[in-house]
Amino acid sequence: MMYMNQNTHDLIVDFNRLERLAQSAQIRLQQYVNEVSKSRDHYAPTVCDFLISQAKQLNVSFERFVDEVGNEATRDKEVLSHKLRLLYSQLGATLTMSDWQAPGFESSKTMLMGQQKDFVTPHYKDYQRDLHKTGKVYQKKFVKEYVDSQFHRSPEAFVFSSGQSAYFTTAFHVHIRLEPGEIVVAGKGSYFENIYVLSRLFKDRVVFFDENNIDALVDLVKEKKPRAIFIDTLSNSYGMPAPDMNRLIKEVLPLFSQGSFVVLDNTLLATSFQPLALFPPLQHLRYFIVESLMKYHQFGMDRATGGVVICSEIDGIGMLLSRMHAGTMMPDANVAMMPTPDRALFDERLKRLHRNTQYLAQLLHDHLTKHPHRHISHIVHPQLPNHPSYAWAKDMKFCGSSFAVAFKDKHQHYLLYRMIINRMMRIARRKGVMLSGGTSFGMDATRVYVTARLNTVDVTPFMRVSPGTETIDEIQALGEVLIEALS
């Protein structure tokens, strides 16, 4: 009975989320209609009416969607989730369809700037590859909803074409500000693409350290006196190191000199870890917090590529210029497809992902402990007792939404990984349980994938399971599938 009640609660939460995301889109469409109505002099006579009619038609589609969500007799969560994803694709196109990538700031007849009319400035805001109003609005809402800060001045946010372009541009931003010979340190368990970027940019000036050994890092910083540190707050890599960020902030960062750079990839922890709520004593440092917008921030829709960097005001103009020179701005239609930032909905989703990840990781850990597998060694997750980060990670309220299946040394081979994954898929099909083979994490449905298979740096490819937001009944059914596959 307890699980039935929990499953019912899960479904209520899921349908509420779908409804609120749809209603949020309706608000944006109405705002768009109002703005276009006030801008008739910027369009040809019939164009304004056409734009308004398109927005109103889409608003009707969202209204019908809300009605479907409210019909308890016929509503289907999976079907509705797919529909909302499609509607949000249309939303992004509709809200930006009148805009120009290179808006004209003056004209002898019809103005050619769409809804950027109050934003465009000659030679500064007249090229959307560099800057656009849609991105500026989203950035402000992102900081307001998702960033907790105790600094006197509010931090700034900058959107990018992807999480990886955000990380690259930040590393580039730091690189051009260092003097020749100055050292940087970085976590050796970082995401393999991050390692590639740092290795190629800084070459022999980057020193990699063990994220699980803060004492050794203290000694390294005292010895090398680095000018920058790059670290994933939770790594998407084989060992999934979860560094003790409280100790790092209190014991390591004070050792850095005035104006040193701190770059945190916070993609896997998102709002659950708020470094700027802990940083105020370290105002002598220049901080950059990088996140992908392709994972949690789209509430499972996975429709638009994007990334974001949060930085201090002192680096605001510099980051704007670095993004401009690198050409890594997030396209306007991609920004418009992003759900409006909503902390309550977002944290609620993270809570579900955390529960499901903990459940599956612990279930498989216990199974392999009792029934050793001839190919598989153990499950890797920071909140399991056998993980090096367990002592400080065990009490984290959110610890990512994935775990690794570690194979024994002699069996770490892609074909063997695929054999296990294929077995999982066969069993899932037979049992009628949803399981997806594919990259990424933070989705509605659990995914399984071989990560870093085609990497160009010396890191270990690994098999990753990324639990979704399934209800308790669904995640238990999936657990039975995985147990059978690993038996």
Rounded to 5 degrees, φ, ψ at 201 are -75, -50
Q: Which of 63-77, 100-114, 128-142, 226-240 has the lowest mean pLDDT?
A: 100-114
Query: pTM value?
Result: 0.94
Cα-Cα-Cα-Cα dihedral sign, residues 370, 371, 374, 377: negative
Please state the rounded mean pLDDT for residues 136-164. 93
Q: Which residues pair with 263 in a beta bridge?
A: 230, 288
Measured CA to CA, the distance from residue 156 to residue 137 in angstroms comes to 12
Measured CA to CA, the distance from residue 16 to residue 8 in angstroms comes to 12
Rounded to 5 degrees, φ, ψ at 291 are -145, 145
Domains of the chain (ranges; CATH) run 14-115 (no CATH), 133-337 (3.40.640.10), 343-485 (3.90.1150.10)
Rounded mean pLDDT of the chain?
A: 93
Of the candidates 314, 295, 313, the residue with the CA atom closest to the CA atom of residue 304? 295
Of the candidates 245, 238, 193, 192, the residue with the CA atom closest to the CA atom of residue 217? 245
For 13-41, what is each residue's pLDDT tens digit?
999 999 999 999 999 999 999 999 988 87
Band of residue 81 on the pLDDT scale cut at 50, 70, 90:
very high
For 363-389, what is each residue's pLDDT tens digit?
999 999 999 999 999 999 999 999 999
For 164-204, what is each residue's pLDDT tens digit?
999 999 999 999 999 999 999 999 999 999 999 999 999 99
pLDDT over 70 percentage in the chain = 96
For 398-454, what is each residue's pLDDT tens digit?
999 999 999 999 998 889 999 999 999 999 999 999 999 999 999 999 999 998 776
Residue 392 near residue 382, CB atoms below 8 Å: no
- Is pLDDT at 326 greater than 60 in this prediction? yes
Q: What pLDDT score was predicted for residue 109? A: 67
200 to each of 66, 195, 196, 371, 403, how far by Cα in Å?
49, 8, 6, 44, 28
Q: What pLDDT score was predicted for residue 32? A: 95
| Beta-carbon contacts of residue 87 (< 8 Å; ≥ 6 apart) | 22, 25, 58, 61, 62, 65
Determine the residue type at 295: K
Band of residue 272 on the pLDDT scale cut at 50, 70, 90:
very high
Q: Which residues pair with 179 in a beta bridge?
A: none
Q: In what order do the strands lie in the sheet with 261-265?
A: 156-160, 307-311, 286-292, 261-265, 228-232, 184-187, 206-209
Residue 273 near residue 266, CB atoms below 8 Å: yes
- Is pLDDT at 1 greater than 50 in this prediction? no
Q: Which two tokens stand for residue 243?
A: 């560094």
Per-position DSSP letters for 137-182, written without gaps between them: HHHHHHHHHH----SSSPPEEEEESSHHHHHHHHHHHHHTTSPTT-
> Directed axis angle between helix 472-485 and helix 343-370, to 10°?
30
Strands (DSSP E) found in 299-442? 307-311, 376-380, 403-407, 436-437
Measured CA to CA, the distance from residue 341 to residue 146 in angstroms comes to 7
Measured CA to CA, the distance from residue 486 to residue 76 in angstroms comes to 31
Strands (DSSP E) found in 360-483? 376-380, 403-407, 436-437, 447-451, 462-466
Angle at CA of residue 416, ends 415 and 419, nearest 5°:
90
Dihedral, 122, 127, 133, 137 alpha carbons, nearest 10: -120
Residue 69 near residue 19, CB atoms below 8 Å: yes
